[in-house]
Amino acid sequence: MALLVKADVRQRLAVARRVHERYLSAARPAPAPLWPEAAWDRCQRRRRLRARAVRCGWRHAAAVLQRRLASDVDELLRALSACRDDLATPVAAPGAVSWGDLYRDVCALDTEFEAVALDAAGDELAVVTDPVVLEGRELGRFELRLALTDRARSQLPLRVIALDPQPARSNDDVTHPHISGEALCAGEGLAPLKAALRDGRLGDVFQIAARVLATYNPGSAYVALEDWDGVRCPACDDTVEKDGLAVCRACRRELCCDCAGVCHGCDESLCDDCSADCGDCGAECCPECLEPCVGCQTFYCQECLDEQSQCAACREPADAAAEPSRDARPDAAGAAASPVHALCVGQADVSA
């Protein structure tokens, strides 16, 4: 990047002419708006999962899925609103921007921002913002780079680079709540940004982007400021790294490893609301790994049921009935036989 010298009129004029040339060379019809098919598919999938949770009686899972579905619907509505704005935006005629207008924009940038620069090829115009502080958290300075030749090829041809990166602990690509990688989530500022780009008001493009960086909207943040130093476990409220979370198999709730249980049957993670104990050994299991005994209908793990799906308590009466009694008498035929009396020598058989 070639840094512009402040108050150098000739350099400002030269930059304005180069920017004007690049800007006009890229003029061509804007692409058709991108329809939010992915957002719609997410809503449909989440709706099916919620319906299944309701049918199965998984109340906690249904509540979690309902909240996430509402968030997906909000995202879909924002995407549809952006498409509507695209369709309502008239196509600008080539040549509508004069280099004189661009010169005035360059002069304005020179007074508004710490530094203004143009790359050697004249493809990117860049400015450096003041240090950004959101709710007491220092995020440092950012460099805003506007692509002059590729502005019609992407929705927002603006790269945002952290010069003093203070990324979120859970994601190194998030250096600002509204930046992922080098892409800016402009939110409500997207429409004004696109209008400024269409009209060639480059000064407004940078000023709007800088205002977006100076504003915090927790509803559209990639990482919330309250989670900047880590993700909070909803069970114990401790802060842990994103990689240190376990996801409940049943409801997809995220918990720290200390609060998440492990299913005895499938070794998957479980939250307390979605786990149950085996009726015999007491092992913690997920609903899919417990089966009812055919006799008492109590739920047991696989290890506590036999091949006939019987528990130990229901097997004992059947086993006892199958074994002969230890106090059993001789058979009836022997018991009914006539008694035999021994006769002494010289005694007569009276019965005879």
User: How confident is residue 5, by pLDDT bands cut at 50, 70 and 90?
Assistant: very low
CB burial string 137-170: b at 16+ within 10 A, e below: eebebbbbbbbbeebeeebbbbbbbbeeeebbbb
Contact 329, 338 (CB under 8 A): no
pTM for this prediction: 0.51
Give the other-Cβ count within 10 Å of 291's Cβ: 15
Which CATH architecture fits 2-30+89-225? Roll (3.10)
Q: Does the pLDDT at position 320 exceed 90? A: no
User: How confident is residue 99, by pLDDT bands cut at 50, 70 and 90?
Assistant: confident
Top-confidence residue, 335 or 41: 41
Which amino acid is residue 88, in one-letter code? A
Q: What is the DSSP letter of 305?
A: S
Residue-wise pLDDT tens digits, 60-85: 888 888 988 998 899 889 888 888 87
Of 26-35, 58-67, 151-160, give the lowest mean pLDDT range: 26-35
Query: Which secondary structure element, helix H or strand E, spans residue 20, and what is its range?
Result: helix 9-25
Domain boundaries, the chain: 2-30+89-225, 239-276, 284-322
* pLDDT, average across residues 127-132: 92
